[in-house]
Chains A and B, each alone.
Chain A
Amino acid sequence: DQLLNRPRSLSGPSGKLTLLCDANTDGSFLVHHFLSFYLKANCKVCFVALIQSFSHYNIVGQKLGVSLTVARECGQLVFLEGLKSSVDVFFRAQAEPHPLQFLREANAENLQPLYEFVREALKPVDDGEAAWRCPVLLVDDLSVLLSLGMGAVAVLDFIHYCRATVCWERKGNIVALVHDSGDTEDEENNILLNGLSHQSHLILRAEGLATGFCRDVHGQLRILWRTPSQPTTQRDQSLTYQYKIQDKSVSFFAKGMSPAVL
């Protein structure tokens, strides 16, 4: 997916926070894309996968051309499988702090164990090993943390700490997915979404079509480039595409130019 003529160079400025957002549709194809993209680009990836199992990502990854098992074995990928670990954490008391410790606690205040896990995973290793390129943290998805009892502020703090470590200290990137709940009054989710939108450099927003379900156009993707660190007088650049998801790729086209219509 050369989706975009957007500047995809990793040698360019890194330390970016990319926010993936979906509203009324499923934006997980974006997560799969970024995962395979960064793995192919030889980056060290820490993937906090809270919503699906490892084999799901692995099988889709194989369609997109990467093998997660190989990457995990050679150390390029550190995978936290939320669903499986949650069962371990919930039913058996753990000896040392577990990243999903908050599942056991009644009033967990922060996500510090999870942050420690990420920091440990993306720690630069000694130069004996093949050096991976910049570290990347990928989270799928942050809204689940709200459902599991954390407050929006705790999740924002977690991302803040991760940015300090991953983006500034180690010059890596962060990609996180948040669901946009739309009109359901999920205040915590809105706080999280707005807070992250202001911090991110790139926002990819997948929306369902306003007119409803369509077989040939699955949704609309809005891309927004931002520079949160400096106040600018220029407007942020934004582009909109419509897309259709296929078995092994996603095809994008300008609005109204779906091949089914032309």
Chain B
Amino acid sequence: MAAVATCGTGAGSTGSVVAAGSKNHVTSFQRRGPRASGSDSSYSRLVSIAGTRPSVRNGQLLVSTGLPALDQLLGGGLAVGTVLLIEEDKYNIYSSLLFKYFLAEGIINGHTLLVASAKEDPADILQELPAPLLDDNFKKDFDEEACNHKTAESNIKMKIAWRYQLLPKMEAGPVSSSRFGHYYDASKKMPQELIEASKWHGFFFPEKSSSTLNIEPCSLTHGYIKLLQFIQNIIYEEGFDGSNPQKKQKNILRIGIQNLGSPLWGDDICCTENGNSHSLTKFLYVLRGLLRTSLSACMITMPTHLIQNKAIISRVTNLSDTVVGLESFIGSERETNPLYKDYHGLIHIRQIPRLNNLIYDVSDVKDLAFKLKRKLFTIEFLHTNTDRVNTEKTFITSDFRVIHVF
């Protein structure tokens, strides 16, 4: 790809691109401005990182979260350099599913993964990733948008319903013709060869907890310090922060941290009310500093429903960029509510960042619900439906006549 080749040779020429080797402006926030033709080469450099696209609103580089529906709600995707915080649902069923979608998206796009968990071995997590849904008619072609020159299907002339010949062909199923955002089949596992072909780093806290610290003890808990050092090491060694100039192909580092704040990490905010109240917030601050100065994006799942001190939750929200809360209906009284009959839970978009802008994309509808079918995780607007109340279907037409249908 010609675009990628210019990365290595011409990197550092324009100050606004993530210039390899220059320490001053190593930030992943780019501006796609209407400037002279010099910006075209930088723009193509941005786009040439697989699995990313610039935001239409502010030129921010976005990656997919693994769920196209969630991408849309977040304004196109997750911005590189930001933190997506998922407030876990009560039994950590759907949040771990979102976590896996995020990682699977990274594997499909060829991003480097960093998986951190205190509960499961990262290798096991990777074995359980869902398989991507590849529709055979539109093969995922990463080199070009190949849809244009598809050969026309045989033009069977319609004799009777000839008017319909002029209509565009219907699409078979969920098709993503662009390479941003994929659908996953939760019932199948990701093929082994894809996992092995991907590059990933795992941080399993019980294994690392015994090694010594070479940083003076500050108020962070042991686990967080080690995790921060690990992340910083990977970023530095693999050149995600632009410090390694001979990296020809830029790539994104996807960091996934599971169950942050749970007692398994050594943090006691879920156990007592007066625990170590600054450890988690300091961790988030330094993590965000690391992310802002490198080409990485992070998803954290946190059991906020367990945190005893509510002040910490609001501080954590202020320190994260995007915050999404999941509330599942399992075991709650909403399960039997006919309004929520088709859905498995609610999604609350609590915060969306305003990056490089005074305004941000926000959907008008705030009531969102999700359901998990065998192949798809869909998010829909929650609306009241008049025909749920009665067993017969009752429709109200636009001129307020009532029609009954049995």
Q: Do A and B interact with each other, yes or no?
A: yes
| CB pair B310 A56 closer than 8 Å | no
Chain B 367-405 interface 0/1 with A at a Cβ cutoff of 8 Å (1 = within): 000000000000000000000000000000000000000
Complex-state Cα separation, A186 to B318, whole angstroms: 13
In the complex, identify which listed stretch (A5-13, A86-94, A129-137) lies at the interface while the others stay far away: A86-94
B29, B215, B314: the one contacting A56 at CB < 8 Å is B29
- Can you list 25 pairs linking A and B with CB atoms under 8 Å apart? A32-B358, A55-B356, A59-B29, A59-B356, A63-B357, A63-B358, A84-B289, A84-B293, A87-B286, A90-B228, A91-B232, A93-B216, A103-B218, A105-B218, A106-B216, A106-B217, A107-B219, A143-B318, A144-B318, A147-B278, A147-B319, A148-B282, A182-B314, A246-B359, A250-B358
Query: For residue A179, which residues in chain B have a CB less than 8 angstroms away from its CB?
Result: 314, 318
| CB pair B288 A83 closer than 8 Å | yes
| CB pair B358 A246 closer than 8 Å | yes
Query: Quick one: which of B280-322 are within 8 Å of A by CB?
Result: 281-282, 285-286, 288-290, 292-293, 310-311, 313-315, 318-319
Interface residue ranges, A against B (CB under 8 Å): 26, 28-29, 32, 53-56, 59-60, 63, 82-87, 90-91, 93, 103-107, 143-144, 146-149, 179, 181-182, 184-189, 212-213, 215, 245-248, 250
Could you tell me the distance in whole angstroms from the C-beta of A106 to the nearest C-beta in chain B? 5
Complex-state Cα separation, A104 to B219, whole angstroms: 8
Query: With A59-B356, A60-B358, A83-B292 as given contacts, are A181 and B218 in contact (CB-CB < 8 Å)?
Result: no
3 A-B pairs with least C-beta separation: A186-B311, A147-B281, A83-B289
Query: For residue A29, which residues in chain B have a CB less than 8 angstroms away from its CB?
Result: 358
Any A CB within 8 A of the CB of B366? yes
Could you tell me the distance in whole angstroms from the C-beta of A115 to the nearest C-beta in chain B? 20
Could you tell me the distance in whole angstroms from the C-beta of B298 to the nearest C-beta in chain A? 14
B218, B315, B355: the one contacting A146 at CB < 8 Å is B315
Query: For residue A184, which residues in chain B have a CB less than 8 angstroms away from its CB?
Result: 310-311, 313-314
Any A CB within 8 A of the CB of B344? no
Interface size on B, residues (CB 8 A): 40
Query: With A184-B310, A187-B311 as given contacts, are A60 and B285 in contact (CB-CB < 8 Å)?
Result: no
A85, A87, A245: the one contacting B358 at CB < 8 Å is A245
Query: For residue B222, which residues in chain A have a CB less than 8 angstroms away from its CB?
Result: none
Query: For residue A213, which residues in chain B have a CB less than 8 angstroms away from its CB?
Result: 362, 366
Query: For residue B29, which residues in chain A have a CB less than 8 angstroms away from its CB?
Result: 53, 55-56, 59
4 additional contacts (CB under 8 A) given A93-B216, A181-B314: A32-B358, A83-B293, A87-B289, A106-B218
Name A91's closest neighbour in chain B (CB-CB): B232
Complex-state Cα separation, A2 to B45, whole angstroms: 41
Could you tell me the distance in whole angstroms from the C-beta of B281 to the nearest C-beta in chain A? 4
Query: For residue B58, which residues in chain A have a CB less than 8 angstroms away from its CB?
Result: 59
| CB pair A87 B278 closer than 8 Å | no
| CB pair B278 A149 closer than 8 Å | yes
Name A248's closest neighbour in chain B (CB-CB): B358
Query: For residue A82, which residues in chain B have a CB less than 8 angstroms away from its CB?
Result: 285, 289
Query: For residue A143, which residues in chain B have a CB less than 8 angstroms away from its CB?
Result: 315, 318
Residue among A29, A53, A185, A188 with the highest chain B CB neighbour number at 10 A: A53
Could you tell me the distance in whole angstroms from the C-beta of A64 to the nearest C-beta in chain B? 8
Any A CB within 8 A of the CB of B27? yes
Could you tell me the distance in whole angstroms from the C-beta of B260 to the nearest C-beta in chain A? 15
Query: With A105-B218, A149-B219 as given contacts, are A86 and B311 in contact (CB-CB < 8 Å)?
Result: no
Chain B 257-285 interface 0/1 with A at a Cβ cutoff of 8 Å (1 = within): 00000000000000000000010011001
Query: For residue B290, which residues in chain A have a CB less than 8 angstroms away from its CB?
Result: 87
Query: For residue A148, which residues in chain B have a CB less than 8 angstroms away from its CB?
Result: 278, 281-282, 285
Complex-state Cα separation, A107 to B220, whole angstroms: 11
